[in-house]
Structure 1
Amino acid sequence: MLKLKIVLLFCLPILLFSQNEKLSAEKLKQDLTIFKEIREKANSGLYKYRTKQQIDSIYSWALKQLNKPKELIEFYKIILQITDFEGSLHNDTTLPDDFEKQYSSGNVFFPYPVKLIEDKLIVNFQNNEILLGSQILSINGIKTKKLLSSFHKYYTTDGYNITGKSIGIGSSFAKYFEMEYGSKKKFVVEYSLPNKTEKIIKTVSGISNDSRKENFKKRHSLPIDSLQYGTIKGKYAFKVISPNIGLLTINTFAIGRNAKDKEHLIYKKFLDSCFQYLSKNSQIKNLIVDVRNNGGGTDPNDILTFSYLTQKSYRENSSAYVNFQEIPFPEYLVYEETEPQKKQEEKKDFEDELKEEFPRLENGKYYQDEKFNPLLQPNPNNFKGQIYLLISPRIASAGSLFASLVAGNTKAIVIGEETMGGYFGHNGHTPIEYELPNTKIKTQFSIVSLDQDVPEKSNQIFGRGIIPDHAVKQTFEDFMQNKDTQLEYTLKLIEPK
């Protein structure tokens, strides 16, 4: 399976936009048309969750918004609405770097980190103005419900999933607010104190982007959610937490770049030692597999790990295809190389790999050769006891593929919250990036549409993430005390057995 991130660079003169500069309707319409044509030709997941009629309809809506000149940020929001509508967590659309730096200058950011707890927007920072744990009801007269729904387009998830958007909101609430409602020096906050209903109104001052980042690093929930954001240092661990319970934690599958990578080989030895131990210690009849912080990574870490948890043969996916063998619209690609000859070589190498892995043309789609998706066998030391799989909205990409295989193909009891990554499939593996000629907005998406090797289940809905057997969210009380609600629930579930 192609796993290289192809970020191809198209060198055009750098175009700097001032914050209030408006682009002509003609140029914006041209970029919108190019954006649509690129996705129709290159994006195999365009109609995964939406019909052609639905996709055409949102583009018709977008075109109607461009009847007069607009600022870049307004056009960007329209493009975001479209990419979010498609339903792929691997979609990523970004402003030109110089514009974003300029736009995000000054003391214009909401000062406090927040977190969604029990579907309420909670202050997640110890401060002297608005008490930690207070519930935000509105900001600048905008009710919380409207705020949150307006932010959904800034953080893409698979299919129709909503829970995963809480990850983006938790990390970038202040940034989303500035993007959506403009730069503000003051914020009028309507809130209620913890476990109170009385409404309080207070005006707080904006802070700089650097201060926003520093406050986030000092958020109250850091001990419980540090692994959901930023670089993960403790990638995996195993421990025996009681005479009959083991805990395997896998925080990422970004463990080496391929099967020959030294880091991957070390991980493989780690898994061998863990499951040999479990095989020899038969009194450990319960294994908790915690992937709540796993946002993905690379093959074969995900499918290798699954080999220790299944007793049946399996594949990574039931089918996979791409839309092309020769990259469409190469004039808008973003290349790594700068020299024309090297760019052509890079492009050819990539296309040769596509032709090798996806050789079969059927109904306009190029399907994966079976040698890249072989039938795999369980590891001889596979665990034969009861598996408890802990999931969360953070789980995506290779993390959700692994969790789907476990949830669908074993007798695991799944506990936690719906994942942002799809149960039945997703678009992934090979990202590609384009730059629009007039606005310089970059758009990235993954080109491989795949169906995961999972069965239909009564609680699994097409277009949704993995649905837990036991839906368990962190309670407000546990948030205040930084307790692990899902793990404590799982241990109590095991106790009577």
Structure 2
Amino acid sequence: MFKSKIMLFVFIPFLMAAQNQKLSVYELKQDLTVFKEIREKANSGLYKYRTKQQTDSIYSWAFSQINEPKALLDFYKIILKITDFEGSLHNDTTLPENFQNKFSSGNVFFPYPVKLIEDKLIVNFRNTEIPLGSEIFSINKIKTKELLASFYKYYTTDGYNISGKSIGIAGSFARYFEMEYGSQKKFLVEYSLPDKSQKLLKTITGVSNEIRKENFKNRHSLPIDSLQYGKIKNKYSFKVITPNTSLLTINTFAIGNNAEDKEHLAYKKHLDSCFQYLSNNLQIKNLIVDVRNNGGGTDPNDILTFSYLTQKPYRENAEAYVNFQEIPFPNYLVYEETEPQKQHEERKDFEEEIKEEFPKLENGKYIQDEKFNALLQPDKNSFKGQIYLLISPRIASAGSLFASLATGRTNAIVIGEETMGGYYGHNGHTPVEYELPNSKIKTQFSIVNLEQDVPKKANQIFGRGIIPDREVRQTLEDFLKNKDTQFEYTLKLIEQK
């Protein structure tokens, strides 16, 4: 249950010779047919946000696009559009490894990191050509709104969510641009200076992939968003920040692999000590829980953490199910093992685990056994004061499951921006990966369709991320100062109360 798409989309555009190779109409239609049948048989979330009629419609569109031979990249974009349309942040579609391992030659990447601030595309790098904080209106005469919409398919989110796509766009803007519009030696940028309305034009030169990556490492916003991209070293922390307020920060739930893992047990011990301290110091009436950088992780870290915030029994899921007990289309499955006999054993072990957890067929669904979704109890030292939950578009998977429980089943005042992970549920837990026979495109998705154990709330919309009670976004002024807008807002709110 982990969301780290920035690292998963490792495509580096391939050489011109490879670009000119095309798949025949027969090969394209065969791959698209296999792709469609796999989703219908194995993907329990296929109709979670889209009706069968809507899904059939996008496949009709896809088939209409392959009436002549196509380059692999063009077919890849069609597949991406379908996987994004399904609405699951656990959907991943990648090009063949031999294509991914090839580099573009020359300086063809947009040179400067960007960031979405108040829905505007802002330069996120100090340079001498287009000043930091400038708003970009178009690049090579392509309007920003059109640019952003064309990039959405490269970074999937739950349901109809758009806010979470800002994470992918900020992290991979130059690569998305190259993939979508081809290699560019020059970029004609229409922009305005910070807090100015006059539009200016500047032609800037493309850079190599190495310089692109180096510039991103040196982006202006690094002090604020470093934990949203790359490896997280400080996974969690706790501190008392005023006599009546404490801060619990959980940057990831990738804390050990299971309940017996030493890292998980150390985390549990840490939580025990933190909440015992709070229980013994009743003057601390406010707890800020900051999960803004939490892209997910592993069970049971998310539901364990929630036990320290709730006063009532709870479950992880209201319902969970899969579509199958025996893996459909095993000949297209991507195995960890390489030997046929070991692959057979790997598949059988997987199917036995599925049959144990999802034993009963009801209305075409294999329902999760209750022993895997037990009724859980609050911790004896669970916090009884006021909770302030800080959220952001980065929150996904196990991070959004935890945030949903805290939003729906505690007194938390939720502050920040809509998450990319859904409030009511998602597809997660167990990923499978298939490889299409001709294009060798790989497609991965999670097979467990789960409804989270949260109540309906008027401000929580099906198909959207968690909606904050108080939407607080970074302004351009705060961006330029690298100011933590949501955290400072929360401290002021506590002070006023």
1:430–1:17: structure 2 CA closer, same or farther, 3 Å change rule? farther
Amino acid paired to 2:444: Q
1:85 matched residue in structure 2 = 85
- 1:257 partnered with 2:257: yes
Q: Indicate the percent of aligned positions where both proteins have the same amino acid.
A: 80
Q: Which residue of 2 is the match for residue 288 of structure 1?
A: 288
Letter paired with 2:467: I
- Between the aligned partners of 1:432 and 1:105, the Cα distance in structure 2 is 34
Shift of 1:129: 1.0
Q: How does 1:441-456 map to 2 (within 5 A)?
A: 441-456=441-456
Map of 2:10 onto structure 1 = none
- Counterpart of 1:431, as a letter, is P
What is the rounded CA distance, in whole Å, between the counterparts of 1:92 and 1:35 in structure 2? 13
Q: Match of 1:339?
A: 339
Match of 1:196?
196
8 A contact 1:19–1:99 mirrored in 2: no
Structure 1 stretches of at least 4 aligned residues deviating more than 2 Å after TM superposition: 100-106
1:208 to partner: Cα distance:
1.3
Distance 1:458 1:342 in 2: 51
Q: Which 10-residue stretch deviates more, 74-83 or 93-102?
A: 93-102
| Partner SS state of residue 227, structure 1 | helix
SS in 2 for 1:444: strand
Q: 1:48-127 maps to which residues of 2 (within 5 A)?
A: 48-102=48-102, 104-127=104-127
Deviation, 1:190, is 0.6
Cα-Cα RMSD: 1.1
Distance apart, 1:334 and its partner CA = 0.7
Q: Give the superposition deviation at 1:364.
A: 1.3
Cα distance, 1:200 vs. partner?
Answer: 1.0
Aligned counterparts of 1:358 and 1:256: Cα–Cα separation in 2: 25
Instruction: Output the CA distance in 2 between the equivalents of 1:24 and 1:210.
Output: 35
Query: 3-state SS of the aligned residue for 2:440?
Result: coil
Matches of 2:298 and 2:336, distance apart in 1: 20
C-alpha distance in 2, partners of 1:472/1:267? 30
Count residues with an aligned counterpart: 483
Query: Is the aligned partner of 1:365 residue 2:362?
Result: no
After TM superposition, the structure 1 stretch with the greater mean CA deviation from structure 2, 262-271 or 89-98, is: 89-98
Task: State the alpha-carbon separation in 1 of the partners of residues 131 and 439 from structure 2.
Answer: 42
How far off is 1:100 after superposition? 3.1
The structural deviation recorded for 1:89 is 0.2
> Alpha carbons of 1:487 and 1:355: their partners in 2 closer, same or farther (altered >3 Å)?
same
SS in 2 for 1:328: coil
> Are the equivalent residues in 2 in contact too, given 1:19–1:103 (CA < 8 A)?
no
Deviations 1:189-223 (A, max 9, x none): 11111111111111111111121111110000000
Q: Report what 2:213 is aligned to.
A: 213
Deviation at 1:484, TM superposition (A): 0.2
Equivalent residue number for residue 4 of structure 2:
none
- Cross-structure match for 1:9: none
2:191 is aligned with what amino acid?
Y
Hey, what does 1:223 align to over in structure 2?
Answer: 223
Give the corresponding residue for 2:436.
436
TM-score (norm 2): 0.96
Quote the Cα distance in structure 2 between the aligned partners of 1:82 and 1:359.
30
Does residue 1:390 correspond to 2:384, yes or no? no
- Deviation (angstroms), 1:165: 0.2
Question: TM-score when scaled to structure 1?
Answer: 0.96
Partner of 1:179: 179
State the shift of 1:17 in Å.
Answer: 7.6
Once the two structures are TM-superposed, the CA of residue 97 in structure 1 deviates from its matched residue by: 2.1
Deviations 1:58-77 (A, max 9, x none): 00000000000111111000
Q: What are the Cα deviations for residues 84-123 of structure 1, in whole angstroms up to 9, with x where unaligned?
A: 0000000000111222343644311100000000110000
The alignment status of 1:424 with 2:420, answered yes or no, reads no
What residue in structure 1 maps to residue 490 of structure 2?
490
Q: In the TM superposition, what whole-angstrom CA distance separates every residue of 1:210-263 from its partner, at most 9, and x where no partner exists?
A: 211111100000000000011000000000000000000000000000000000
Find the aligned partners of 1:310 and 1:401 in 2 and give their Cα distance. Answer: 14
Contact 1:19 1:102 in 2 (8 A): no
The superposition leaves residues 126-155 of structure 1 with CA deviations (integer Å, 9 ceiling, x where unpaired) of 111111111111000000000001100000
